[in-house]
Amino acid sequence: MQYAEAFKLALQSLWANKLRTILTLLGVVIGVASVITVVTLTNGAKEFVTTKINNYGASVVTVSKMPQTFITIDEYLSFQKRRDVTFDDYRAILDECKSCVSVGAQRTTTGKIVYQTKSTTDTNIRGWTWTMPPISNMNIDEGRSFTEVEDEHSAHVAIVGYDVVDNVLGAGDPLGKEIRVDGASYSVIGVGERQGKTLGFSMDNWVAIPLTSFLHAYGAHQSMVVFVNTGGGGEVMDAASDELRVIMRARRHLAPGAPDSFSIDTSATFQNLLGKILNSFGAVVAAIAGVSLVIGGIVIMNIMLVSVTERTREIGVRKALGARRKDILLQFLI
C-alpha cells in the first residue's frame, strides 16, 4: 500500500466518524495539556524563588513583621497580629548591629504616577533608604541613586523603572523630569535597570523615593522591612541573624523562651518555600496529570479498538486479496 493511498483512507475515515475523531483529539489534548501544566507550575515556582534570591542577594537578611513566605491563611492572620517593624527599629539595627556590613529599609504601597497628560494608577511606590539599591542588587542604568543627605533631608527625588519611562515619561531624556507621585512632585534622578517579568507580572513598574519622604507622605502607621547585608553566607550570615534577633527581642522586651514577634528571613527561606510548594502541590498536580494521561490513553485505546473491530471483515478481504501485514498496519497507524 502506498503512503498516499493510506493517508487518503485515513482522511476519509476521520471525516466519516466525526465524533470519534473529536474524542480522540480530546484525549490527546488532555494528556498533553496536563503534562504542560505540571512543567509550567514547577518552572514558575523555581523562577519565583530564583528571582527572589537574585533580588535580595545570597548574603542579605531581612527583618519584617511577617515572613516573606507563608502557605496558609491561618499563618497570615497570626502574623498580622504582630507589632509593626518601625523606623526606630531600623535605626536601632543600624546603630547596634556590629555584624552588619550595610543596613537599609523599605516601605511599599501602590499609587498614581502623573507626568503631563499621561498617568498610571497601579505603580509600585517604594520608600527606600539610600543604601537599598546596592543591597537589593538594583543597578542604575541612567542617572544616579539617592545620596545619604537626600535620604536624611526628605528630598523630593525619585528613581523610576522602565515601565514608567516607556508608558508615562515618553521619549527624551527622563532625567530631570518632574513627576507627581500621589499628588506630590518629585524630580527623576535615575532609572533602574530593566528586570523583565516574573510569573507574567512586570518588575519594572515602580518608583522609588527616599524613605523619609515616603513616611512624610504616607505616614508611619504601617510596618516596614529592614534589609541587612551580612557580607557573606554560612556562619557569617548565621552570626548576623543571631545578633539581629537579640536586638529585636531586647527592643520588644520578650521573655526568655517566648516566641519571636518578628521574622528574620534569608535566601534559604525562599529555597524552603520551593520545597514546600513542590511538596504541597507537586504530588497533587502530578496525580491530576497522571489521571488525565490515563483517561486520554483509555480514550485513544478504545477508539483504536473500535476502529479495528469494525474493520475485521475489511481486513479479511484485504488479506485474501494479498495484502501484507505491514500494509494493514500502515493503514491503522496513519
Separation CA 55–CA 53 (nearest Å)? 5
Strands of the chain, DSSP E: 60-64, 102-115, 118-128, 140-143, 157-160, 178-181, 184-192, 197-198, 201-202, 206-210, 225-229, 263-265
Per residue of the chain (334 residues), give pLDDT as tens.
566 766 676 677 667 777 777 777 777 787 777 777 777 776 776 666 566 555 556 688 899 998 876 667 888 888 888 999 999 999 999 999 998 999 999 999 999 999 999 999 899 999 999 999 988 888 899 999 999 999 999 999 999 999 999 999 988 899 999 999 999 999 999 999 998 877 667 889 999 999 999 999 999 889 999 999 988 777 888 889 899 999 999 999 999 889 999 989 886 666 666 666 666 666 666 777 777 777 777 777 777 777 677 677 777 777 777 777 777 776 666 5
Q: Name the residue ranges covered by the structural domains of the chain.
A: 3-50+278-333, 83-261
| Cα distances (angstroms) measured from residue 13 to each of 7, 318, 330 | 10, 17, 14
